[in-house]
Each structure stands twice: as C-alpha cells, then as structure tokens.
Amino acid sequence: MSIKVLIADDQAILADGIKSVLSSCPDISVVGVAHDGSEAVRLAQQFEPDVVLMDIRMPVMNGVIATQEIKRAHPSTHVLVLTTFDESNYILDAIEGGASGYLLKDISAPALIEAVKNAYAGDTILPAKIARRIVDAARLVRNDREIKLKRTFSFSDREVEIAVMILEGFTNKQIASALKLTDGTARNYISSIYEKVGASGRTDAAEKMKKSIDG
C-alpha cells in the first residue's frame, strides 16, 4: 500500500517538481496538488492523504491556517511544512498548528522522499538547522518569565527551558528533538516539572506556570 501524499504550493513549477520527485518512488502516490490553502483543505477532505506537503505563504488561506484546518478534520494526517522561509516565527506557527515537521525547499530529492516516509511512520521531522531555531526561539522569551518560573518552582536551568517550551505548546517528542534529548530523558525532565509544579498533567502544569508568571 503506497503512502498517499497531497502537495500544497502556489508556485506551479515547484509543485510539479515535487510531484515528479515523489512520483519516482513506488511507495508514494501523489493524490492531488493544491495551489492555495483553501484548496488544500478541500482536497484533504476529498482524498484523505496520509501526508501533506504544505507551503506557508499561499493565497486565499496560508499554510498555517490550512494545517490547523486539516489537522482538526483529520488528526491522523501528517503535515510537513515545505517552504523557502526559515524564520523562527514560521517554524513556531507551523509546529503549533499541528505540523509533524518543517522542511526547507533546498532539501535533496532523496531526503524529501525519506522525510515523507518518516512522517508517515509518525516521526517528527526537524532538521538540525530548524531545531536550532526552535531552541533559539525558546531562549528568546523574556528573562522575567524564566526568572519567575525558576524562583517559584525551583526549576533547574534545563527545566526552565523545557517549561517554557511546554508553555509554547511543544509536545514531548518535539522538545526531545529540539533539545537533542532522548525521549526518556525528556519525559524525566517533564515529570520532574509536573512534580515541582504540583500538577497532574500537561494542561494543569501549563495553567499553574502561567498563573505564576502573570501573577
């Protein structure tokens, strides 16, 4: 059974090139090509793809909103953001919107095929360049927020870093990938944060940490 892929890109020549690359792999079937975010949402509803390759800047509806709409209707669909833009705000918007990963358009053909297969398998796709930007973005939060968290809950420096990422909506796997931790190590840090906060889970911890910052 082949992996069903939907391509969303408003530049026809790039969409055709991506389609050609993916069609060269017998394990992948391109089921549709959308040229704006609204069309991507409609085609995702029609074809129920396994993986969507989503551009960010598109007319009618941008890729972040389209990702949110697709994930809301089809939680099992994996969205990989594929774009020429590598600014951290796009990275964070895409990940927070439910994307499984973020790729730049300078990726090689074999790497693109591998990324689609890995996303289908449930992996988070964050190349080193992107992971560094996510870490940088997490570190650029206001110092007073970090200080309040550390003072209120006696967090270590690493726990403060992870606590901030929890507040930003990152999953355990995304935190582990961005900080180059094993899944087990990330879970241990997160469990320690929950214990220090006195929280029963992620939502409870985030609410209590936010109250400590806002208060």
| pLDDT tens figures, 108-137 | 899 899 889 988 888 777 666 666 666 665
List CB contacts of 174: < 8 A, sequence separation 6 or more.
95, 124, 126, 134, 165
User: What pLDDT sits at residue 147?
Assistant: 81
Same domain, 12 and 90: yes
Same domain, 9 and 75: yes
Q: Is a pLDDT exceeding 80 seen at residue 51?
A: yes
Report CA dihedral (146, 152, 155, 158) to the nearest 10 degrees.
-10
CB atoms within 10 A of CB 144: 9
Mean pLDDT, rounded, for 51-60: 88
CA distances from 99 to 54, 84, 191 (A): 9, 16, 25
Same domain, 98 and 171: no
Same domain, 49 and 121: yes
- Residues forming beta bridges with residue 102, ordered by sequence position: 81
Total count of residues recorded for the chain: 215
Mean pLDDT, rounded, for 145-173: 88
CATH of residue 47: 3.40.50.2300
Rounded distance, CA 129 to CA 132, Å? 5
The parent domain of residue 152 ranges over: 141-214
Q: Is residue 36 part of a domain?
A: yes
Rounded distance, CA 185 to CA 207, Å? 23
Give the number of C-alpha atoms closer than 13 A to the C-alpha of residue 126, restricted to the C-beta side. 23
User: What pLDDT sits at residue 189?
Assistant: 95
Same domain, 115 and 145: no
Q: Is residue 135 part of a domain?
A: no
Total H helices, total E strands in the chain: 11, 5
Band (pLDDT 50/70/90 cuts) for residue 139 is: low
Name the domain count of the chain.
2
